[in-house]
Amino acid sequence: MNLGRSILLAAARSKTLNDFALNSRVVKRATRAFMPGEHAADALRAAESIAASGRGLIFTQLGESITRSADAEAVRHHYLEFFDDIRARSLPAQVSVKPTQLGLDLSFDQCLDHLIALGAKADATASALWLDMEDSAYTERTIELYIALKKSHARAGIALQAYLYRTADDIDRLLPLCPTIRLVKGAYDEPATIAFAKKSGTDRNYHDLACRMLDAARENKCLPVFGTHDTALIEEIARHAIGEGVDRTKYEVHMLYGIREGEQIRLVAEGYTVKTLISYGSAWFKWYMRRLAERPANVLFAARALIG
């Protein structure tokens, strides 16, 4: 792992930096490169122009590692209302949640209950619910939650991380469920014993896993979603899809709000299904530092936001 990425991921774990950033107007200004604001209303306003460009939407309220049951219940309540907000605005939108935001550290069963309630609400509002993937300590439990949720919410999706060695086996394990999988590279600080230490290794594995998912999509056994801003990699994957006879309607591309906006619009024009992930909320520091760590260009992007 390169030094800059290591420093940024270490910073994400610092409570001192977290407290400073959350009270710094300068740092908050920089976050606008990646999120439209801290409030749900900010996210919904930003979504209208994105939807008008032909893109779908994924919303997530930032936050993780809930330590009180009441807080997990508040998150559940927020999302139940948010699904209604999406429907009221006729937005082509879905919701993505972190299991620890719904109390996974407190109780697996209670977390699952919250997810089932949200999945039912997603169905009732013609939407869908996604499970974000957190660090490797939660990988197995998140997959178990997804398997259980899929029984009652067929459209449920899960994010899997290409930098983990185990992900190929996890995809094979999920394929009998006809899963919806968002493949991402991974944004946590993981040891070399379980994850690729170099970007080149992650990129190769991402390509191989994407091809495996597309092969399953050809037989309608998977809906692959490629969560990456690496447009060269997207083009490689698209060439494989063409070679295997997989139509562009059988997979999606997801990118973050504010990043490669022009590329997102170009992909829509070329017939890809593109969804933009919009984050909001006050608990943004860890998420923001991981976004900077994902690719060096993000640091320059945020710096320009400070002076722009």
- Cα of 235 vs its chain's centroid, Å: 20
Q: Which of 5, 76, 182, 295 is catalytic?
A: 182
Distance CA 176, CA 222 (A): 9
Measured CA to CA, the distance from residue 273 to residue 131 in angstroms comes to 20
Task: Based on the residue annotation, tell me whether 132 is a catalytic residue of this protein.
Answer: yes
8 Å CB contact between 203 and 7:
no
Distance CA(51)–CA(47), nearest Å, equals 6
Distance CA 175, CA 290 (A): 29
Q: For strands 273-280 and 157-161, give the pairing.
A: unpaired
Q: For residue 129, which phi and psi values (nearest 5 degrees)?
A: -115, 135
Q: Which residues pair with 94 in a beta bridge?
A: 58
- CA–CA gap between residue 70 and residue 75 (Å, rounded): 9
Residue 169 annotated as catalytic: no
Please give the distance of CA 38 from its chain centroid, rounded to a whole number: 17
CA distance 289 to 295: 11
State the alpha helices, DSSP H only, in 15-127: 15-22, 25-31, 40-52, 69-88, 108-124
Burial class of residue 174 (count of CB atoms within 10 Å of its CB; 0-12, 13-18, 19+): buried
Percent helix, strand, coil in the chain (nearest 5)? 55, 15, 30
Catalytic residue among 5, 55, 132, 290, which?
A: 132
Token readout for 110 is 């209670």
Task: Name the phi and psi angles at 60, rounded to 5.
Answer: -145, 135
* Catalytically annotated residues: 132, 182
